Chain A
Amino acid sequence: MTRFRALVEVSLRPGIADPQGATIERALPALGFEAISGVRAGKAFRFVVDATDEHAARKQVDDLCRRLLTNPVIEDSAVTLEQA
């Protein structure tokens, strides 16, 4: 078994309104961040997973994303794995 560190970033799917991101972006000019745009708010999860190899680890994490960490109707996930 190998231990992997997983990072799952959950974001709203393209085209889904993101009122949090929009509100944050509206506040930026007042703070002087004129050059920042395209803000999207999301969530991140970090955990470790034990698996025989990276492929098996990714399979588990993808399944977890689909069944629990995201609502596929409105959210996408991006998974990053690295050996612990």
Chain B
Amino acid sequence: MTARIGVVLFPGSNCEHDVVEAVNALGGDAHIVWHDDRSLGTVDAVVLPGGFAHGDYLRPGALARFSPIMGAVEAFAAGGGPVVGICNGFQVLTEAHLLPGALQKNRGLTFLCTTVEVEVFSDRSVLTSGVEVGSRLRIPINHFEGSYICDQSTLDELRAEGRIILRYVDNPNGSLADIAGIANAAGNVVGLMPHPERAADALFGSTDGRILLGALLRSALAWSAVAAGS
């Protein structure tokens, strides 16, 4: 079985081919899904890639959440299907209310493009399932609005339910509780600011992103088997 991964292309996305390459290099079967379509086709997982969907006009993700494909993404997520938003994709997921909180401008108002160290803080998600908690990964970040914020009760919930999946070792952007990635309550919807697809080949300086994308492919197949049986 090969995990079929749909990578949504919004006008202004710019990491979709990187995700496709990285997934395919890991033995997955990734293809691009156009934002203006209403159906995802047959997929075992969905990735919302990084970039500047709809130019990031108004707020990052604010217009992308109304792209026609998002209805299908929401239905897929509601059915338990794995959905991962990377960087701008994370912003889209918060705007779509598939994940709580919001991403604000970085502390210091600096666009950050560097490789950071993140700690796997929970394995209760489709992106960290089977990954050793406490392990540290070197993965690039590339964002201006990456400072995670939410209210205190949401933070308490995220903590209590093991939904903070990745934390910065040295917080680069002012994110609340050093949050680099979170999951929904079921663990099937994940958002993270770091770009695992940019740490997927030794040429990139780190292959740690393969650990997360590999977990996603396993989660996708596991979900697909469950969905087929139900």
Chain A residues near B (Cβ < 8 Å): 16-17, 19-20, 23, 68-69, 71, 73-74
Contact = CB atoms under 8 A, between A and B. Distances in A.
A74 B109 contact: no
A74 B147 CA distance: 12
Contacts of A17: 104, 107, 147, 149, 174
A74 B148 CA distance: 11
19 contacts: A16-B104, A16-B149, A17-B104, A17-B107, A17-B147, A17-B149, A19-B105, A19-B106, A19-B109, A68-B58, A68-B62, A71-B59, A71-B95, A71-B102, A73-B94, A73-B100, A74-B102, A74-B104, A74-B149
A9 B128 CA distance: 41
Interface string B105-147: 1111100000000000000000000000000000000000001
Contacts of B105: 19-20
Interface residues of B, number: 19
- Interface class of chain B by DSSP: loop
Given A16-B104, A19-B107, A23-B109, A73 B58 contact: no
B101 A20 contact: no
Contact of B150 (A20, A68, A73): A73
A20 B107 CA distance: 10
Contacts of B101: 73
Interface of B: 58-59, 62, 94-95, 100-102, 104-109, 147, 149-151, 174
Contacts of B102: 71, 73-74
Given A19-B108, A73-B101, 13 more contacts: A16-B104, A17-B149, A17-B174, A19-B105, A19-B106, A20-B109, A71-B62, A71-B95, A73-B94, A73-B102, A73-B149, A73-B150, A74-B102
Contacts of B174: 17
A18 to B, nearest CB: 9
Nearest to A69: B58
> Which 8 residue pairs spanning A and B have beta carbons closest together?
A73-B102, A74-B102, A19-B109, A71-B102, A19-B105, A71-B59, A23-B109, A73-B101
Contacts of B108: 19
A22 B169 CA distance: 26
Residue of A20, A69, A73 with highest tally of chain B CB at under 10 A: A73
Contacts of B62: 68, 71
A20 B109 CA distance: 7
Nearest to B104: A74
Contacts of A73: 94, 100-102, 149-151
A26 to B, nearest CB: 11
